[in-house]
Amino acid sequence: MSNIARQHSNARMSKVVTHGGLVYLCGQTSGGKDLEGIAAQTVEVLERIDRLLAQAGSHRGQLLSVLIHLKSMDDFEGMNGVWENWLPPDAAPARTTVQASLAQDRLLVEMTVVAAVASTQQVALP
């Protein structure tokens, strides 16, 4: 048996897949909200990541790898300002940031996450 668990699935994709102590999140964007600016969109993306990781038994302190797509590299510093305030100390994952065309023109940022499932000893987050 493969012990792969999928959550929030449809015919095309799953938002969360867990296997072998790892959590894989599909690319997260600011959703259906028409948020203006990179800071607002980044906050929404990180809130969505927090919710999905919690549902899978993990949290931001367990991040292993994050792939960040920005519509424009002009938003790199603005996104990083929000990111650095959200990330717990000493928990920086392996990370790649690239410029890319996103699925909808209004989207400025998308993040894809791999994290470890949290141990039974939870870490308090800010």
CATH of the domain at 23: 3.30.1330.40
Q: Can you tell me whether residue 60 is helix, strand or coil?
A: helix
> Is 12 within a domain?
yes
pTM of the model: 0.88
Tell me the pLDDT tens digit for each residue of 8-20.
989 888 999 999 9
Is 123 contained in some domain? Answer: no
In the sheet with 14-19, reading across from the earlier edge strand, the strands are: 5-9, 14-19, 22-28, 109-116, 63-70, 94-99
pLDDT at 32 (0 to 100): 62
Number of domains making up the chain: 1
Residue 125 covered by a domain: no
Predicted local distance difference test score (pLDDT) of residue 53: 96
Domain containing residue 54? 5-116
Domain-located, residue 104: yes
